[in-house]
C-alpha cells in the first residue's frame, strides 16, 4: 500500500471534470472481497472544486454490492495544500478514538483540535517518501476501527494480514522520521492518545495472530516488532521516550505455554487477555551541563527523572472488567549515555557511588522496675533492651561503565524473598502459585509503585553525577551523544490466585546533540 503518492497525483481542478469516473485505489483484496479508496470530485464552498474520499468494501458477505464505510470532508483543490484537511481529519478521528489509561487526567473530550500549522510544516519539511510512510501508518490506524469494528470478519482479517502488518513492518524498518517529528511537535497529551491508539491496534494484531481469528486461510503473521521511541535535547536535558505494547516485548522468562490463549483453562485465558491490553510507556530525563576549562571540557550528567508506566488500554475506567488489579509492572531499567562508539576525544569518565540499599535503625529502650513496701530492704530491678529494625528499599540503584558510556541501573527486589524480580524463574515451571512479597503492590502502605502501577525515580533519589573530560579541541562543535535503555516489565499475581508469571523486556537506542559552544565564543 502506498496511498499518498496516488492522492498527490490526482488531477487538478482544471483537468478533472465531474462527469469522469471517480479514480479508485485498491487497498487490499482477497477471494472474499476488496477494500478500496475512491476519490470523487464535488463542489465546495463558493462553488470551488473539491474532492471527497470514500473508503468502501466490495464483495464481502452480506455486502455483495459496494458498501461505503467512511466519507471524508471536502478538500478544496485550489488550496495551497489541498489534502491537508484530509490528514487533519484522520489524525483528529484517531485521537478522539484513543483508548485511555484508567484514572487518566486528560480525557479525550478535553483535547483541543489539532492546529493545522504544525501538520502543514511536517508536510513541507520531509521528503515525499518519508511523508508517505507516515501517512500510511495514520491511514491504517483510522482503517482499524472501520474494518475491524464496522465490517464483516473477512474484511477484518484481510485488514490485519494485508494492510496493518506490512505497514508496521515498513515503519519499523525505516524508523519513520516523520512520526518522530509529529510526536515532538503536537504536544505530550496528543502524543499519548496517538501512541495508545497505535498500541491498541498492534495488540489486536498480536492477539489475532495467536487466535488465528478462526480462519484457516489466514497466513501466520510474524510478530510485529515496531520500536517506537525517540530522543531529544533541549534546555539542558537529554530526553528518551519509548512506547511498547506488552505483547511486542521480548519474552525473557515465563512459566506459560507457547500459545497465549489456546490450550489453557478459561480463567487463565481471560487473565492473559487482560494482561495483553497493556503498554509500557517510559521517559528518561537526564540533566547535563558543560564547563570549559584550561586544557579540557567538562561534561556532567545526572538522572533528573525516570518515569515508567504500564498503561491499561481500556475505554471506560468504570466498566466491570475481569482482573482490574492485574497488570505488568516495571522490574528493571538500565540506561546508558555517552559518546559515540570509537570516539577518541574523551579523556576520562568518572562515576558516582552506587546507592546504598539498606537503612538501619537502632532503638534503645530502658526499663526500670522497683517495688517499695514495708520491707526493710527495697527490691529494685533494672532491665535494658535493645532492638534493631532493618528497613530495605525495593529498588537498588547502581552505576557502572562500559567503555566511555555511563550506565544507570535500577533493579527491583522482592523484600519478602530477597530475589531480583526481573531474573526470577520458579523451580517448578507449572506448579503452585509462587510465594512473593509483591501482593497488593498498588494498595499497600509500603508499596514500591504508584497506585496506577508506575514508578518515578527522581534526581533527589538517584542524583549521583557522572563526568567526562573532553579534548579542548572539540570546543565549538556539536557532538552526537548516544543514549539508550533496556526496560523489563514483569507480571506476578497481585489480587488473584494464579501460578502464571512472566518477564518481558524492550531495548531502545538513539542519538542526541551535545553542543560544546562556550558562552564567551557565542557573543
Summarised one tens digit per residue, pLDDT across range 196-219 is 999 999 999 988 887 765 443 444
pLDDT of residue 506: 95
For residue 479, give Cα distances in angstroms to 7, 28, 78, 289, 381: 40, 45, 45, 14, 74
Verify that 372 and 303 share a domain, yes or no.
Answer: no
Alpha-carbon distances, residue 348 vs 337, 338, 404 (angstroms) = 14, 11, 8
- Give the count of domains, the chain: 3
Domain termination residue (choose one: 201, 226, 251): 226
Q: Over the stretch 464-499, which tens digit does the pLDDT of each residue have?
A: 899 999 999 999 999 999 999 999 999 999 888 888
Please tell me the distance from the alpha carbon of residue 203 to that of residue 207, in angstroms, as a whole number.
Answer: 6
- DSSP letters spanning 363-401: EEEEEEEEE-SS-SS-EEEEEEEEEEEEEE-SEEEEEEE
In eight-state DSSP terms, residue 263 is S
> Is 379 in the same domain as 517?
no
What is the per-residue pLDDT across 90-119, written as a single tens digit (0 to 9) for each?
999 999 888 875 555 555 555 668 889 999
Distance in angstroms between the alpha carbons of the first and the last residue of the chain: 52
d(CA 53, CA 89): 11
Asked if residues 54 and 13 have their Cβ atoms less than 8 Å apart, the reply is: no
Same domain, 210 and 351: no
- Structural domain span for residue 347: 228-357+393-523
Residues 180 and 274 in one domain: no
Domain shared by 178 and 267, yes or no? no
Tell me, yes or no, whether 326 and 452 share the same domain: yes
Which residue matches cell numbers 488465528?
A: 212
Is the same domain home to 332 and 189?
Answer: no
Average pLDDT, the chain: 83
Burial 433-458 (b: 16+ CB within 10 A, else e): ebebbbeebbeeeeebbeeebbbebe
* Whether residue 262 is found in the same domain as residue 339: yes
Same domain, 517 and 481: yes
CA dihedral 281, 338, 406, 280 (to 10 degrees): 10
User: Are 139 and 258 found together in one domain?
Assistant: no
Cα–Cα distances (Å) from 323 to 309, 340, 436, in that order, read: 18, 45, 19
Q: What is the pLDDT of residue 74?
A: 93
Alpha-carbon distances, residue 76 vs 51, 117, 123, 179, 467 (angstroms)? 7, 17, 17, 26, 56
**Boundary residue ending a domain (226, 255, 279):** 226
Q: Last residue of some domain: 178, 205, 226?
A: 226
- Does the global pTM surpass 0.85? yes
DSSP H/E element including 481: strand 478-491
Same domain, 254 and 209: no
> Which pLDDT value is given to residue 215?
42
Instruction: Report the pLDDT value the prediction gives residue 233, as an integer from 0 to 100.
Output: 94
pLDDT tens, N- to C-terminus, the chain (523 residues): 789 999 998 877 666 766 568 899 999 998 889 999 999 988 766 678 889 999 999 988 777 788 999 999 999 988 889 999 999 999 999 998 888 755 555 555 556 688 899 999 999 988 888 899 999 999 999 999 999 888 998 999 899 989 998 888 887 765 678 899 999 999 898 999 999 999 999 999 988 887 765 443 444 444 446 678 999 999 999 999 999 999 999 999 888 665 556 557 788 888 999 999 999 999 999 999 999 999 999 999 999 999 999 998 876 655 556 788 899 999 999 999 999 988 899 988 999 877 665 555 555 555 656 655 555 555 656 656 555 554 556 888 999 999 999 999 999 998 878 889 999 886 544 556 667 888 888 887 778 888 888 999 988 887 789 999 999 999 999 999 999 999 999 999 988 888 889 999 999 999 999 999 887 765 5
Same domain for 104 and 245? no
Amino acid at each position: 500500500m502506498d496511498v499518498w503518492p496516488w492522492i498527490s497525483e490526482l488531477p487538478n481542478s482544471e483537468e478533472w471534470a465531474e462527469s469522469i469516473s471517480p479514480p479508485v485505489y485498491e487497498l487490499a483484496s482477497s477471494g472474499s472481497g476488496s477494500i478500496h479508496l475512491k476519490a470523487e470530485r464535488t463542489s465546495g464552498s463558493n462553488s470551488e472544486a473539491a474532492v471527497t474520499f470514500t473508503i468502501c468494501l466490495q464483495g464481502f458477505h452480506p455486502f455483495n454490492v459496494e458498501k461505503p464505510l467512511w466519507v471524508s470532508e471536502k478538500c478544496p483543490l485550489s488550496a495551497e495544500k489541498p489534502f491537508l484537511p484530509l490528514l487533519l481529519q484522520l489524525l483528529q478521528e484517531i485521537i478522539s478514538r484513543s483508548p485511555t489509561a484508567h484514572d487518566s487526567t486528560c480525557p479525550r473530550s478535553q483535547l483541543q483540535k489539532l492546529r493545522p500549522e504544525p501538520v502543514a510544516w511536517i508536510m513541507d519539511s520531509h521528503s515525499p517518501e518519508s511523508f508517505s510512510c507516515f501517512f500510511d501508518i495514520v491511514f491504517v490506524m483510522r482503517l482499524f476501527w472501520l474494518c475491524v469494528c464496522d465490517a464483516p470478519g473477512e474484511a477484518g482479517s484481510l485488514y490485519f494480514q494485508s494492510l496493518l502488518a506490512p505497514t508496521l513492518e515498513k515503519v519499523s524498518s525505516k524508523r519513520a522520521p516523520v512520526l518522530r517529528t509529529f510526536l515532538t511537535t503536537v504536544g505530550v497529551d496528543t502524543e499519548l492518545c496517538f501512541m495508545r491508539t497505535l498500541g491498541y491496534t498492534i495488540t489486536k494484531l498480536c492477539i489475532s495472530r495467536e487466535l488465528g481469528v478462526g480462519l484457516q486461510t489466514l497466513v501466520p503473521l510474524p510478530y510485529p516488532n515496531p520500536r517506537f521511541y525517540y530522543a531529544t535535547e533541549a534546555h539542558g536535558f537529554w530526553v528518551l521516550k519509548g512506547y511498547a505494547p506488552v505483547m511486542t516485548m521480548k519474552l525473557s522468562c515465563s512459566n506459560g505455554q507457547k500459545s497465549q490463549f489456546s490450550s489453557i483453562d478459561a480463567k487463565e485465558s481471560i487473565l492473559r487477555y487482560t494482561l495483553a491490553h497493556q503498554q509500557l510507556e517510559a521517559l528518561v530525563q537526564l540533566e547535563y551541563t558543560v564547563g570549559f576549562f584550561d586544557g579540557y571540557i567538562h561534561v556532567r550528567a545526572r538522572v533528573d527523572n525516570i518515569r515508567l508506566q504500564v498503561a491499561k488500554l481500556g475505554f471506560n475506567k468504570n466498566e466491570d472488567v475481569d482482573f482490574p488489579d492485574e497488570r505488568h509492572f516495571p522490574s528493571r531499567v538500565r540506561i546508558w549515555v555517552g559518546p559515540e562508539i570509537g570516539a577518541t576525544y574523551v579523556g576520562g569518565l568518572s562515576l558516582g557511588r552506587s546507592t546504598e540499599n539498606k537503612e538501619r535503625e537502632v532503638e534503645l529502650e530502658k526499663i526500670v522496675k522497683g517495688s517499695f513496701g514495708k520491707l526493710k530492704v527495697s527490691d529494685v530491678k533494672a532491665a535494658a533492651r535493645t532492638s534493631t529494625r532493618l528497613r530495605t528499599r525495593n529498588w537498588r540503584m547502581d552505576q557502572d561503565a562500559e567503555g566511555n558510556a555511563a550506565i544507570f541501573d535500577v533493579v527491583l527486589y522482592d523484600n519478602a524473598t530477597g530475589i531480583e524480580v526481573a531474573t526470577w524463574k520458579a523451580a517448578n515451571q507449572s506448579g503452585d502459585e509462587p510465594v512473593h512479597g509483591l501482593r497488593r503492590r498498588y494498595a499497600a502502605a509500603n508499596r514500591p509503585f504508584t497506585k496506577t502501577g508506575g514508578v518515578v525515580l527522581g534526581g533527589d533519589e538517584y542524583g549521583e553525577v557522572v563526568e567526562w573530560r573532553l579534548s579542548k579541541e572539540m570546543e565549538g562543535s556539536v557532538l552526537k551523544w548516544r543514549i539508550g535503555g533496556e526496560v523489563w516489565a514483569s507480571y506476578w499475581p497481585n489480587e488473584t490466585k494464579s501460578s502464571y508469571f512472566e518477564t518481558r523486556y524492550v531495548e531502545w537506542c538513539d542519538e542526541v546533540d551535545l553542543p560544546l559552544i562556550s558562552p564567551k565564543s557565542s557573543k
